[in-house]
Structure 1
Amino acid sequence: MLPLVAHPIQPAAYVFTHFEMAPQDTGISSIPYAVIMSVLLSNYCLYGYDTAAHLTEETKGADRTGPLAILSSIGIITVFGWAYNLALTFSIKDPNYLYDVNNETAGALVPAQIIYDAFHGRYHNSTGAVVFLCIIWGSFFFCGLSVTTSAARVVYALSRDNGIPFSPIWRRIHPKHKVPINAVWFCAVISAILGLPILKINVIFNAIISISTIGWVGSYAVPIFARMMMAEENFKPGPFYLGKARRPVCLVALLWICYTCSAFLLPTLYPITWSTFNYAPIALGVALTIIMLWWVLDARMWFKGPVRNIDMRNGNS
């Protein structure tokens, strides 16, 4: 709908061949660096398959349907994300105005500015832009629900294995709704607390997005690396098996993860000041330091790994 509103739109030559860096606004004059920064959003969005991976343990034939769900989610995200980016790019009215600190979004919210310019240029009011932004805000809301759900599942799983403090509280199941309600509220409260600084300081949002992406993407690097190093005679393949392509695919995946994690640690604006600095490396270092100290000084003394609730020998619960 947006390109229809923004008519006349930018030509295809502009969308597919023009390279805009806006160095006067971003402080970035290196083309390779600009390319790395430009794919951060795609890197973040492509990892939506994580939700599909979380749901596989509750489906029948998860060893087959799980990988198919992951591949399907990546395909859907790619198609719709590509369409979304094309719609925005074709609808740009004035490229120089997008990053102007004096525009309606203070040069900080480029997609919102594109939508605003399209509706204001066509109808001379911003009502339609507000409606479009409400659709985007709605998608953020449901994305937040998905993230909270995944986080609550992780908290519940770890608390079942006594892997986090006050585990008996977080693994408690609501007698009526049969959900770990304490774990859900725990994650919701933490999310709200982390979100409050964003209302005042934009750089906090970048740090949270960077840390969350590095955290869950980096976690997938562990089994992938283990699979590369594992002797083939010790591996029992399932129904979804890559065969001879397994090691090259694992290597590409591992290198991609390393690239993604490194890119999210880089500054996105120059010159570097307190308001443009990427605090993700500091936050990541602090978090890893606390976790490792906790493991060395305490957790390794009592944490024994996953707690079995099924006797594998006779199948009795």
Structure 2
Amino acid sequence: MDSGEKRLNELGYKQELRREMTLFKTLAISVSTVTLFTGITPLYGSSLRYAGPASLVWGWVVVSFFTWFVGIAMAEICSSFPTTGSLYFWAAHLAGPKWGPFASWCCAWLETIGLIAGIGTQAYAGSQTLQTIILLCTGTNKDGGYFAPRGVFFCMYMGLTIIWAILNTFALEVIAFLDIISIWWQVVGGLVIVIMLPLVALKTQSASYVFTHFETSPESTGISSKAYAVVLSVLVSQYSLYGYDAAAHLTEETKGADKNGPIAILSSIGIISIFGWAYILALTFSIQDPSYLYDVNNETAGAFVPGQILYDAFHGRYQNSTGAIVLLFVIWGSFFFGGLSITTSAARVVYALSRDKGIPFSSIWRRVHPKHKIPANAVWLCAGVCILLGLPILKVNVVFTAITSICTIGWVGGYAVPIFARMVMAENNFKPGPFYLGRASRPICLVAFLWICYTCSVFLLPTIYPLDWNTFNYAPIALAVGLALILLWWLLDARKWFKGPVRNIDVQNGKV
């Protein structure tokens, strides 16, 4: 019995999942969940358009700075509570016996909503990248290339979701192996893009343009306020820099989780902070004509700005798009691995919540495959809900904006509950793990909590004006309805029986 399993037993849980994940494997899954390309690529074009390159470039630095506060606060809690239930388990224990069940209930559902929507963001952006690859392989928008219509796009979205579910139904070794490929894919692929793209481009933008140029686009965004434009331009960074809690979801399957869990959380933030900024700089320096990127008559139909930047660079140098297609495939691979990892995390959260009877028909979703020791039913529940979430693709243009907002608010909002509970609890009630902040814990948690509140607020804002059915961000309505139902369920019924994490070990007597 290692230190992680011993601590798990002390918390009242028996070891049911297979504990074979090493630090490197856990880090691989965590980095794959945050991902280098999947946050930046789909929102890069809109963020650049809002306020120009300077706001985009320096916004990443600012967001990375505050993300470290959130990561450090979570690493301390993870070290003390190395359980698969992670955030909602932390909330229950940190909030105390009176408020613990309610804190756990809110955190669990926020996290569940965020993770399942996170699968949708990867499936949508992955389909968008694949759509561009197919377009360039069959010609271009100018040369009669095939641009997938809504129905085909939704089939791509659904296909990716189902493939991720199938892969997550196999043994954990398969997922761990694919995630090891993922981290090398992103590191090596990221280096290739960051180094090659500016070298291939016939011309590069000046440093003054990249680091100091500020320009709003009220004629296309409808936003004339410079402050508002800056806030929206930073959304790409806020959307990209989360997901590092994936290491916490796997702590019951990780060796020495009370030490390796925090290390994986902080290491993944460091890796993505550095590589993400380098990727943004590479794209921005390689822009050939800023105004041409959004032209609906350009080679990528104005639908995918990073794809147009790659096309302009390679076609300008070699008069063909082969290099752009290869690098787009590298980016698409990042979406594939990212979606696979988020499906793994989402299934673990649904499994943990079902184990504690917090989801309808919990007895179904908490079943573990007898051979592979995988919560297979939870995997397919997440996939099914994700597909339903993507149905508006068939009719509405702002689906990605809404899914992104729901994902970020749910996922990051779930971080706020245990961090706030840790901040206000009595210090003598906290049993620290190997990673302990001491007196620095409260100020770090305060900065982290305020940053999370700001992040959740800005994702509720409209992103395009004037408002109509094609530009309205329906995430606030979807979240309001969903959270209202969850709170109503709590008030009318769940508070009578939901007590938070349910122990399956009698710690005093050592009985299961």
SS at match of 2:428: helix
Does the Cα contact within 8 Å between 1:48 and 1:74 map onto a contact in 2?
Answer: no
Q: In structure 1, what is the Cα distance between the partners aligned to 2:319 and 2:390?
A: 34
Q: Is the CA contact 2:344–2:379 (under 8 Å) kept in the aligned structure 1?
A: yes
Match for residue 3 of structure 1 among 179, 198, 202: 198
1:121 offset after TM fit, Å?
A: 1.9
Deviates more, 1:243-252 or 1:300-309: 300-309
Q: How does 1:47-196 map to 2 (within 5 A)?
A: 47-196=242-391
Determine the C-alpha separation between the residues in 1 that align with 2:230 and 2:257.
Answer: 37
Give the structure-2-normalised TM-score.
Answer: 0.59
1:26 aligns with 2:26: no
Distance (whole Å) between structure 1 residues aligned to residue 367 and residue 481 of structure 2: 30
CA pair 199-147 structure 1, distance change in 2 beyond 3 A: farther
Structure 1: gaps (5+ residues): none
**Aligned counterparts of 2:501 and 2:487: Cα–Cα separation in 1:** 19
RMSD value, Cα: 1.7
Ranked by relative contact order (alpha carbons within 8 Å, sequence separation 6 or more), the top structure is 2
Distance 2:219 2:320 in 1: 29
Match of 1:257 in 2: 452
Q: Distance in 2 between matches of 1:138 and 1:222?
A: 33
Amino acid at match of 1:56: T
- Give the alignment partner of residue 424 of structure 2, picking from 207, 217, 229: 229
Distance 1:64 1:174 in 2: 28
Native 8 Å contact 1:159 1:170 kept in 2: yes
- Structure 1 counterpart SS, 2:372: coil
Q: Contact 2:206/2:285 (CA < 8 Å) preserved in 1? A: yes
Q: 1:200 to 1:103 in 2, by over 3 A?
A: farther
Three-state SS of the structure 1 residue aligned to 2:269 is helix
Give CA deviations for 1:255-303 in whole Å, capped at 9, x if unaligned. 1101110111111112222111111111110110111111222222332
Given the superposition, is the C-alpha separation of residues 106 and 274 from structure 1 closer, same or farther in structure 2, using an over 3 Å criterion? farther
How far apart are the structure 2 equivalents of 1:97 and 1:23? 17
Q: 1:21 to 1:105 in 2, by over 3 A?
A: farther
Distance 1:200-1:116 versus aligned 2 partners, 3 A rule? farther
Q: CA deviation at 1:199?
A: 5.5
**What's 1:288 paired with?**
483
Paired residue for 1:301, among 496, 501, 506?
A: 496
Distance 2:442 2:367 in 1: 41
Query: How far did residue 200 of structure 1 move?
Result: 4.8
* Paired residue secondary structure (1:24): helix
Question: In the TM superposition, what is the alpha-carbon distance from 1:217 to its structure 2 partner?
Answer: 0.8
Q: How far did residue 78 of structure 1 move? A: 0.4
Structure 1 residues 52, 199: CA separation in 2 closer, same or farther (over 3 Å shift)?
Answer: farther
Alpha-carbon distance in structure 1 between the residues aligned to 2:218 and 2:319:
30
Q: Distance in 2 between matches of 1:54 and 1:172?
A: 17
Distance 1:132 1:270 in 2: 33
How many residues are paired up?
Answer: 317
Letter in 2 for 1:231: A
1:117 to partner: Cα distance: 1.7
SS in 2 for 1:202: coil
Give the partner amino acid of 2:427.
Answer: E
Moved segments of 4+, more than 6 Å: none
